[in-house]
Amino acid sequence: MANKLLLSVICFFSFFSISKAQIESSIVDAAHAYARAQINADVESILNFTHPGLIEQAGGRENMKKTLQLIHQNQQNKGIKLQDFRVKESIQHTRSNGEIHALVPVVTTSKVPGGQLISETNLIAVSESGADRWYFIETTSIDERNVGKVLENWDGTLILPFKKAPVFKEDKK
């Protein structure tokens, strides 16, 4: 009897570990695809990864598309180009009201006039369908006080890290 109980406990924790690893792997894959879309200014793909609530708040898909295009055009006009978008390890995730929420640490490097701007930030990854499809919310203008306005099912289990100031690295002359 004790052996059966021990086997059951081992199976439960093995399943939990595999499930956790599969979720994190799925998030990383989606985040890499999102990063490629950002680097290539592929607005359609970015929209496909944008949380539907954000699209709705922007007035629909076409309005959000125009906004993203305008942002990319303004950055291009200012000589700003995203060069690198790396997903860091230590993804945290939880289940909240039927959704999976995850904090995904990322490091971005942008070419700016006179150098590079390196930023460490986090994305919030959201899956409404059990890790099959991921949406991302950038946290540059989100904190603990307003995250619930953007993501209704946020339960506060995950704590948004403090924001770090970007680091400017001047071009070598």
pLDDT digits (tens, 9 = 90+) for 76-109: 999 999 999 999 888 999 998 889 999 999 999 9
- Those residues of the chain that have pLDDT short of 50 are 6-18
Q: What is the pLDDT of residue 14?
A: 38
Q: What is the pLDDT of residue 141?
A: 87
What are the tokens at 48? Answer: 């496909």
Q: Say if CB 121 and CB 142 are below 8 A apart.
A: no
Burial pattern 56-73, b for ≥16 Cβ within 10 A else e, equals eebeeeeebbeebeeebe
The total of structural domains in the chain comes to 1
Q: What is the pLDDT of residue 16?
A: 42
Burial of residue 27 (number of CB atoms within 10 Å: 0-12, 13-18, 19+): buried
Q: Which CATH number belongs to the domain containing residue 154 in this structure?
A: 3.10.450.100
Q: Is the dihedral of CA 59, 62, 68, 72 positive or negative?
A: negative
The rounded distance, in Å, linking the Cα atoms of 131 and 100 is 7
Q: Which residues are CB-neighbours of 31 under 8 A, at least 6 positions away?
A: 87, 104, 106, 123, 125, 134, 136
Domain hosting residue 122, numbered range: 2-170
